[in-house]
Amino acid sequence: MSEISASVVKELREKTNAGMMDCKRALTEANGDLAAAEDILRKKGIASAGKKSSRAAKEGAIASYIHLQGKVGVLVEINCETDFVAKNDIFRDFVKDVTLHIAAANPLYVSREEVPEKLILAERAICAAQVTGKPANIVEKIVDGKVDKFFSTICLLDQPFIKNPDQTIKDLLTSKIAELGENMVIRRFTRYMVGEDLGE
């Protein structure tokens, strides 16, 4: 069958709150049939994961990871709804994967919402300066694409997962919410590197 279009993937994502890659896989499995793809996601529990995001997540874990002979360290807090899930191996493995990812990928923020407006405007200005001689509406689309790329380098949830680059950390989180049946939140993290910012 023909390639699944981005607009159909987006439509399914808006209907189900499932991750982009989960939507694409479901549409491929359903040969592009939107209703059938939604059913596939429901059966896997992924479609309901987004609906759990409004529930309070006050349990969880604080985990640490030290890498490269003590040169890089990560401290992260990930929350879930119950102590039962906080002790579950699936949750613990997810927490471990996130700490490993932060150590390797060096995100600066958890989500786009945390990025200061000033930084976004500065990045947009740089991107716009790189695109000259094109109509304004084309420039706007190119700048939006470049800013999305910028977010995927600095925001944890937008970054491709180091163990599976076809999946973002947000997609991974959504799949774990579906699997465990509870809301989960990557609350905050700190990453230390020996000698960082000391050369100024």
pLDDT of residue 54: 57
pLDDT of residue 113: 93
Residue 200, pLDDT score: 43
Secondary structure, 3-state, 57-103: CCEEEEEEEEECCCCEEEEEEEEECCHHHHCCHHHHHHHHHHHHHHH
What residue segments make up the domains of the chain, in order of their start? 6-47, 52-112+155-193, 116-153
d(CA 163, CA 187): 21
Weakest mean pLDDT among 4-18, 43-57, 74-88, 182-196: 43-57
Q: Identify the pLDDT of residue 8.
A: 85
- Identify the CA nearest to 170 among candidates 59, 69, 8, 22: 22
- The pLDDT tens digits for 66-95 are 987 889 999 999 999 988 999 999 999 999
Contact 12, 37 (CB under 8 A): yes
> Which has the minimum average pLDDT: 38-47, 48-57, 175-184?
48-57
9 alpha-carbon distance from chain centroid: 17
* 23: nearest Cα among 5, 41, 42: 41
- Bridge partners for 184 per DSSP: 80
pLDDT, tens only, 115-172: 999 999 999 989 888 887 777 788 888 888 999 999 999 999 999 999 999 999 999 9
Class assignment of domain 6-47?
mainly alpha
In percent, the amount of the chain with pLDDT more than 90 equals: 48
- Measured N-to-C along each axis, helices 34-44 and 20-29 cross at an angle, to the nearest 10 degrees, of 120
In whole numbers, what is the pLDDT of the chain averaged over residues? 86
Residue 75: DSSP 8-state:
E
Compute the Cα dihedral for 24, 28, 33, 37 and give only its sign. Answer: negative
**Closest listed residue to residue 72, CA positions, set 50, 53, 99, 97:** 99
Shared fold status for 6-47 and 52-112+155-193: no
Whether the pLDDT of residue 24 is over 90: the answer is: no
Residue 88 DSSP label:
S
**Rounded-to-10 torsion of CA 23, 24, 28, 34:** 50
The class that CATH gives domain 52-112+155-193 is alpha beta
- HSE-up of residue 73 (Cα within 13 Å, Cβ side): 8
The confidence score (pLDDT) of residue 1 equals: 46
Report pTM: 0.70
